Amino acid sequence: MTSERWDPAAFKSRVDDVVSGFVAEEADRFAAIDPLLDPVAEQMETALADGKRLRAAFCYWGWRAAGQPDSDALVRAAASMELVHAAAVVHDDLIDDSPLRHGRPTAHIALRGAVRRGPRADPAARSLAMLVGDLLMALAGQLFTTSGLPAAYLARARPLWWVMARELIAGECLEILRTGAEPDTTASLKVVRYKTAKYTVEQPLLIGGALAGAGARLREGYCAYGLPLGEAFQLRDDLLGLFGDPGHTGKANADDVRGQRPTALLAETWRLADGAERELLRTLLGRSDLDREGLDTVRATMRRIGAPDRVEHMIGARVEEALCVLHDLQVPAPAATALTTLAHSAAVRVS
């Protein structure tokens, strides 16, 4: 990918090669400690087997938009964002008790086989999954620092890693603390911002920019572009989580309702609902035994009061805001084209 024209598929292939090779080597080293660790090592690799590689792409274009050329070392550094994401996904699935991801059993479900003969097999499998996520986060830092970029470049970006970790964990904590509470759109959007938006778009852009030595105006532009776009990404996930085709999303589509999670979709539904509709929702939200009929009732209620349309409007407004910022930034043409493409890819998708 040395030409000025960006090929998303070619970039994804480059990132896939980096993360698969790196994690495979680390999984082999981990499993070499003891054969009992083989299932855990397998989940390390499974966690990185799929993905759009959006976070790596935003980091890459944070670098390129600052005027830096294509670089294999930078691609390695950018690929570390995908290990952060994989770690967050393993932990998120564990917290939410989600059974599926990319059409496969999640780590804490898959690891039951490794502990099925022992006492308290389910808690043991969950503990193993937690440790898989912890290890992936540690490996993300290792890949970043051994990327091949000069130490001075890495030093500029290192403080942003601490910010990214703090804000990501704060978002996960807020989601846990808000789960089961009366839905509130403002609170839900705060969860969206800290749990997903910042580490999906804003922080990768800022890290790429810091590596490249981006100036203050460009860094401010990355924030103004990245935050609304990251929120649009998660709002799309909220819609897909309930209305998407599991064949495309690879996830169960009742999780948010059964868990009464603080999604903006549920919050907007609650805000728009009248008294009778709220009474109906109270009988359905948070029920772990919610059946297909109950889920269809929730969907029908949402459609009747226009909640999905409202969230679609929120997505569109945020993408438009991000693209207006990008236009005013006047970054190099290849970066502008790529970041425009990425904005649409993040917000308009089926999985």
306-347 pLDDT per residue, tens: 999 999 999 999 999 999 999 999 899 999 999 999 999 988
* 40-44 long-range Cβ contacts below 8 angstroms, 24+ apart: 40/111, 40/114, 40/128, 40/131, 40/132, 43/90, 43/107, 43/110, 43/111, 43/128, 43/129, 43/132, 44/132, 44/135, 44/136
CA trace torsion 283, 288, 291, 296 (10° rounding): 60
- With beta carbons less than 8 A apart as the criterion, state whether 111 and 43 touch: yes
d(CA 160, CA 102) in angstroms, rounded, equals: 29
- Mean pLDDT of the region 249-269: 88
CATH placement of domain 8-347: 1.10.600.10
Residue 55 has pLDDT above 80, yes or no: yes
Average pLDDT over residues 274-281: 96
- The predicted structure's pLDDT at residue 1: 43
Residues 230-243, mean pLDDT to the nearest whole number: 94
Exposure on the CB side of residue 24, measured as CA atoms within 13 A:
7
Q: Determine contact, residues 62/226, Cβ cutoff 8 Å.
A: no
List the beta bridge partners of residue 101: 104
Average pLDDT value over all residues in the chain: 94
pLDDT score for 251: 73
**Domain boundaries along the sequence of the chain:** 8-347
pLDDT band at 350 (very low <50, low <70, confident <90, very high): confident
Is 232 within 8 Å of 349 (Cβ atoms)?
no
Mean per-residue pLDDT for 191-218? 97
For residue 118, is pLDDT > 80? no
* pLDDT, tens digit (0-9, with 9 covering 90-100), for 126-151: 999 999 999 999 999 999 999 999 99
Q: Please state the φ and ψ torsions of residue 152, each to the nearest 5 degrees.
A: -65, -35
The residue ranges of DSSP E strands in 51-192, in sequence order, are: 100-101, 104-105
User: Is the predicted pLDDT of residue 2 greater than 60, yes or no?
Assistant: no
CA atoms within 13 A on the CB side of 228: 19
| pLDDT greater than 80 at residue 248 | no
Q: What is the pLDDT of residue 305?
A: 97
pLDDT band at residue 121 using 50, 70 and 90 as cut-offs: confident
Averaged over 265-290, what is the pLDDT?
95
- Gyration radius of the chain over CA positions: 21
pLDDT of residue 4: 63
How much of the chain, in percent, has pLDDT values that exceed 90? 86
Provide the 3-class DSSP secondary structure of residue 49. Answer: coil
Q: What percent of the chain has pLDDT over 70?
A: 98
pLDDT score for 28: 98
